[in-house]
Structure 1
């Protein structure tokens, strides 16, 4: 006998559904811009129902940040000790691709975790790198095994940071191949890098440039949300209200600094490619230029990757345009060097190479030496398949 109405049945896996939806929202909007109401809406429940599972946004965020890493630990520990490098990298890649929409949390957003939670997350990621290092050293007994393993994982993790669309099987093949090449690259090979020059950073001679310089330092040290206009003003010797003479708000400061840096990178690429005709040499030059930029603008790059997602669309749009133009330059030269690649494949490999730079740079603590630049450039070129 039916009653004519059916009471809503709460899914048994509601908590998992919440975490999955929250991971996507945090990845798309950033930790601070995302709200519990928005996450509840993505699940199709009320905010009150959401709070029955998680007491606050931070608790939910910490759960999301750990979810991907816990999955990676389980996937990599599921590979038998005698498993091959291909087995290990495939396991990591398949899980990362499956959780592409939310997997970026552990790479960038995790900076918003408390110290103890951040340390716990770092320990889990360290276990993953160690496991890859063991297999890498067995199959490719080259120097800097841990550095190569971290960079290879960065190449795979890059897929969480962009939206280039391609068939899943082909995507996994590209990422595994790229990561494998990184593992097989000797980063200590003499002369693996190329000497390039970057435009000189404009001296902070105006109030506006002083504000930009001070703000990025503060954003990197304390986090964008924790830095107030008053703190920025104090750093440059102004009263808080004076900041508004130069920028409408704090987000405008971040956007302006990123645009200035993007302009420097574009100028560097243009001047270093002058007279370079050979496609392989062009890619090598691009690689050295990008690595030099990454080492010289570490703070800004770190802040941008973590914070830009939370900027208002009108401020983010010019930055996305600048990034696409930069990627297009890479795509053009990479496809000239590797004609078999189509446009999407080339872009995926370029992002993979950037991911390798990020994780290798972190491993080296961004200590700017010629040897470190050469090592990272070699890993970048390896990721591209040249």
Structure 2
């Protein structure tokens, strides 16, 4: 019995993943408005118009990047909770998960910081909704650790933690030669944990 996924399906998925990766890199370097479809196509070895076989337009490509990463973050955060453990263990796992994201998807963080307003209204609403749900995952764990604190207090703390971790693409460019699992990861995890458990 086959899985129903053909070689053509796999090739198309691989091409889409390559397009998304290169688009995030180029958007991070030059901004959404500073990159043409022709440049995007050249980065993955196709003509600009060939991208329309995968995405309706450049704005749809931006939406796929930012909605997609928001979906991955929410699924990952929920996966941490589903994994069980004490609230303290879950918080450490959640911080580790978000640090992994920040170190591996630095380009996407830079794109969101600069180009969120360039999304279509529908995609922007989707991103905001998914982000709110991700924050609620953090608040659920933090409320178990700090039952005396209100949800708004915990929401501020969660957002401050994201700011600390997500500053990585802007603050550690000089450390790009360092092993990703070394100095930067340790600093981020230690600081985030200290900030959220103080």
TM-score category, normalised to shorter length = 0.7 to 0.9
Give the deviation of 1:205 after TM superposition.
4.8
State whether structure 2 residue 182 is matched by structure 1 residue 374: no
Among 124, 128, 135, the residue aligned to 1:316: 124
Q: 1:358 maps to which residue?
A: 166
Q: Normalising by structure 1, report the TM-score.
A: 0.45
Alpha-carbon spacing, 1:345–1:257, altered in 2? closer, same or farther (3 Å): same
**RMSD of aligned residue pairs (Cα, Å):** 2.2
State whether structure 2 residue 110 is matched by structure 1 residue 302: yes
Give the deviation of 1:259 after TM superposition.
2.3
Q: Name which one, 1 or 2, has greater alpha-carbon Rg.
A: 1
Q: 2:151 maps to which residue?
A: 343
Does structure 2 conserve the Cα–Cα contact (< 8 Å) formed by 1:258 and 1:319? Answer: yes
Partner deviation per Cα, 1:21-77 (whole Å, 9 max, x = no partner): xxxxxxxxxxxxxxxxxxxxxxxxxxxxxxxxxxxxxxxxxxxxxxxxxxxxxxxxx
Q: 1:246 maps to which residue?
A: 54
Task: Work out the CA distance in 1 between the residues paired with 2:54 and 2:41.
Answer: 11
Give the deviation of 1:315 after TM superposition.
1.7
SS in 2 for 1:206: helix
Q: How do 1:185-200 and structure 2 match up within 5 A?
A: none
Task: Work out the CA distance in 1 between the residues paired with 2:46 and 2:169.
Answer: 35
Q: 1:293 maps to which residue?
A: 101
Does structure 2 conserve the Cα–Cα contact (< 8 Å) formed by 1:361 and 1:376? Answer: no
Alpha-carbon spacing, 1:269–1:205, altered in 2? closer, same or farther (3 Å): same
Task: Work out the CA distance in 2 between the residues paired with 1:324 and 1:246.
Answer: 29
Alpha-carbon spacing, 1:298–1:204, altered in 2? closer, same or farther (3 Å): farther
Does structure 1 conserve the Cα–Cα contact (< 8 Å) formed by 2:67 and 2:123? Answer: no
Give the deviation of 1:363 after TM superposition.
2.9
Q: Normalising by structure 2, report the TM-score.
A: 0.83
Gaps of 5+ in 1: 1-201
Task: Work out the CA distance in 2 between the residues paired with 1:334 and 1:373.
Answer: 21
Does structure 1 conserve the Cα–Cα contact (< 8 Å) formed by 2:102 and 2:168? Answer: no
**Larger fraction in helix:** 2
Gaps of 5+ in 2: 1-9
Alpha-carbon spacing, 1:256–1:309, altered in 2? closer, same or farther (3 Å): same
Partner deviation per Cα, 1:198-218 (whole Å, 9 max, x = no partner): xxxx99853322221221111
Runs of 4+, deviation exceeding 6 Å: none
State whether structure 2 residue 121 is matched by structure 1 residue 282: no
Give the deviation of 1:318 after TM superposition.
1.0
Give the deviation of 1:282 after TM superposition.
1.4
Give the deviation of 1:274 after TM superposition.
4.0
Give the deviation of 1:244 after TM superposition.
1.8
